[in-house]
């Protein structure tokens, strides 16, 4: 028998080890951030070496027998298990430990090596728009990833593909996700079809040319107003925008500027800021390294970025505040446009071929197509050789347009080439969670739209801090949604949001 005092000592030691691993991990992330922003070109070999050494150290610590023993001792301790927050912390540490230890090192190595070659081949295949070049490599990656999923094991009552989803969205089940995606797909396709018959907004306000430094000043001003803490974060420029929350007091955002479309950077920056506000709101100062100070999964993380980008940033109320600010920063470049002009133009929605360029409404259909194909591949219902055909037929069915080439079809995303299966779903889940939370927030803060109109975002951020950010990973995303909104995740809030906004704009 173990005394409770001894067990809480186990818990303390376990948390200390987790904090050390997380600190090493954060140093690795800082190296990656530097690599994307300021590192001189010639440093790349050395940086690769630095990153590999650090990643090895983190893995060694995370998978050590000592962590396993401490974890087992904590799991056996009834007093710890009686405390809901501590029990959740231990449950998630177990999940991390299993994910890190269940794969044989040879498989990890093979996935990395084949993935790197496969990514190379994918680039070539995409350039030549020829799926047949990539096909044998995709077959290899699917086979290796299937082995990975088998090592993790299908959850009880679930399917093999769930083991892959679980890496990004803890405990997610494809069957549950499909229950939400199914109705979303049908009604969204209908909505897109209707919009095509309506009169779309003029995109003229989007085409005003604006220099990058003016755009940068605007971005800084807007995210400062949203509540991003610049004493604990930065905004820099990269080719691929991202957000990295390293540790207490350090959250970095990046963005990119296209002079011919200023809204790309503005919405991109607001998106990353949403991730950053979440990172800044996690209780890292005391619990860094513990699951309680981590995000609840990629779906909830994405819900935070989409909320600020789309539910705030593409609302009419936001533009009443933002248009004068934009004109101040851009020297009156948009003076001839009204709030309505800009509001309507940033809500243009029409089917297009490329996911990353898709609008708020059609984006979800791009994601659901990939989710269905991945799931069918891992359930053995779809052969890799049939992917292009399935893709093109699905695309026509969902979005009503013909795919002219593999490059603009099933070869467009890098994800599958290095084995990222199970990830896409989190993008659409983010939109769904954001919509459901947004309805609840508007219910809880009746003056919210009025506040946004005045550029006041403090009460919204405080709500998110209290209900989402401070919980960390205590609850699974699905449970968090149920607790906060009082119902399970559904498709209706997102559909209400999109239909309520887009039908009037398109007059359909």
Q: Which residues are catalytic, by number?
A: 272
**Residue 303 interacts with Zn ion (CB under 5 A)?**
no
Nearer to Zn ion, 282 or 407 (CB): 282
Stretch that binds Zn ion, among 19-27, 234-242, 299-307, 310-318 (CB under 5 A): 299-307
Q: Output the smallest distance, CB 388 to Zn ion, in A.
A: 28
Nearer to Zn ion, 305 or 485 (CB): 305
Residues in binding contact with Zn ion, number by CB under 5 A: 1
Nearer to Zn ion, 189 or 305 (CB): 305
Q: Would you state the torsion angle of the CA atoms of residues 330, 331, 336, 341, taken in this order, to the nearest 10 degrees?
A: 20
Q: Output the smallest distance, CB 305 to Zn ion, in A.
A: 4
Task: Count other Cβ atoms within 10 Å, centred on residue 123.
Answer: 14
Q: Which helix (H) or strand (E) holds 254?
A: strand 250-255
Residue nearest Zn ion by beta-carbon distance: 305
At residue 235, φ and ψ (nearest 5 deg) are -130, 125
Residue 192-221 contact track with Zn ion, rule CB under 5 A, x = bound:
------------------------------
Q: Collapsing DSSP states into helix, strand and coil, what is residue 382?
A: coil
Determine whether 459 is exposed, middle or buried from the number of CB atoms within 10 Å of its CB (0-12, 13-18, 19+).
Answer: middle
State the distance between the two ends of the chain, measured CA to CA, in whole angstroms.
Answer: 70
Residue 151-180 contact track with Zn ion, rule CB under 5 A, x = bound:
------------------------------
Nearer to Zn ion, 305 or 412 (CB): 305
Instruction: Give CA–CA dist 360/317, Å, rounded.
Output: 18
- CB burial readout 305-341, b (16+ within 10 A) else e: bbbbbbbbbbbbbbbbbbbeebeebbeebbeebebeb
Q: Supply the DSSP string of 166-185, one letter for each residue.
A: HHHSTT--HHHHHHHHHHHH
Q: Output the smallest distance, CB 368 to Zn ion, in A.
A: 18
CB 141, CB 417: distance < 8 Å: yes
Q: Which helix (H) or strand (E) holds 376?
A: helix 363-378
Nearer to Zn ion, 145 or 305 (CB): 305
CB 257, CB 237: distance < 8 Å: yes
Nearer to Zn ion, 280 or 305 (CB): 305
**Residue 251 interacts with Zn ion (CB under 5 A)?**
no
**Residue 305 interacts with Zn ion (CB under 5 A)?**
yes
Going by their DSSP bridges, the two strands 233-237 and 250-255 should be labelled as parallel
Q: Output the smallest distance, CB 302 to Zn ion, in A.
A: 5
Stretch that binds Zn ion, among 100-108, 305-313, 435-443, 444-452 (CB under 5 A): 305-313
Q: Output the smallest distance, CB 279 to Zn ion, in A.
A: 12
Q: Which residues bind Zn ion (CB under 5 A)?
A: 305
């Amino acid at each position: 028998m173990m005394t409770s005092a001894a067990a809480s000592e186990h818990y303390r030691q376990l948390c200390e080890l987790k904090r050390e691993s997380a600190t090493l991990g954060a140093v690795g992330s800082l190296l990656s951030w530097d690599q994307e922003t300021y590192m001189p070109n010639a440093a790349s070999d050395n940086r690769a070496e630095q990153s590999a050494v650090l990643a090895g150290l983190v893995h060694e610590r995370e998978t050590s027998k000592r962590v396993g023993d401490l974890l087992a001792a904590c799991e056996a301790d009834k007093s710890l298990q009686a405390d809901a927050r501590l029990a959740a912390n231990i449950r998630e540490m177990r999940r991390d430990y299993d994910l890190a230890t269940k794969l044989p090192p040879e498989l990890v190595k093979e996935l990395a090596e084949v993935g790197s070659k496969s990514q190379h081949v994918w680039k070539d295949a995409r350039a030549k728009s020829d799926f047949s070049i990539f096909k044998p490599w995709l077959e290899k990656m699917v086979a290796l990833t299937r082995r990975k999923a088998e090592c993790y094991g299908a959850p009880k009552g679930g399917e093999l593909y769930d083991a892959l989803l679980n890496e990004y969205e803890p405990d997610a089940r494809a069957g549950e996700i499909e229950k939400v995606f199914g109705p979303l797909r049908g009604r969204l396709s209908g909505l897109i079809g209707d919009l095509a018959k309506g009169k779309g907004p003029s995109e003229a306000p989007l085409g005003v040319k604006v220099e990058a430094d003016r755009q940068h000043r605007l971005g800084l001003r807007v995210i400062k107003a949203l509540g991003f803490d610049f004493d604990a974060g930065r905004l820099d420029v990269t080719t691929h925008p991202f957000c990295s929350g390293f540790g207490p007091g350090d959250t970095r955002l990046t963005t990119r500027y296209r002079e011919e479309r200023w809204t790309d950077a503005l919405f991109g920056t607001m998106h990353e800021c949403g991730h950053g506000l979440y990172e800044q709101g996690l209780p890292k100062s005391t619990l860094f390294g513990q699951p309680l100070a981590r995000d609840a999964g990629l779906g909830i993380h994405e819900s935070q970025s989409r909320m600020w980008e789309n539910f705030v940033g593409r609302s009419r109320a936001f533009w009443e505040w933002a248009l004068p600010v934009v004109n101040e920063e851009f020297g009156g470049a948009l003076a001839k446009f009204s709030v309505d002009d800009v509001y309507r133009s940033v809500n243009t929605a029409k089917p297009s071929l490329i996911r990353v360029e898709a609008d708020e409404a059609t984006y979800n259909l791009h994601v659901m197509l990939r989710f269905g194909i991945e799931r069918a591949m891992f359930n053995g219902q779809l052969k890799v050789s049939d992917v292009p055909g399935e893709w093109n037929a699905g695309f026509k069915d969902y979005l009503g347009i013909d795919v002219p080439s593999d490059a603009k079809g099933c070869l467009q995303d890098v994800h599958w080439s290095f084995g990222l299966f199970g990830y896409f779903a989190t993008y659409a889940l983010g939109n769904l969670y954001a919509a459901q939370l947004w309805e609840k927030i508007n219910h809880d803060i009746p003056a919210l739209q009025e506040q946004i109109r005045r550029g006041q975002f403090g009460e919204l951020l405080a709500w998110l801090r209290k209900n989402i950010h401070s919980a960390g990973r205590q609850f699974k995303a699905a449970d968090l949604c149920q607790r906060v909104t009082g119902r399970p995740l559904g498709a209706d809030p997102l559909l209400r949001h999109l239909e309520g906004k887009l039908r009037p704009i398109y007059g359909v």
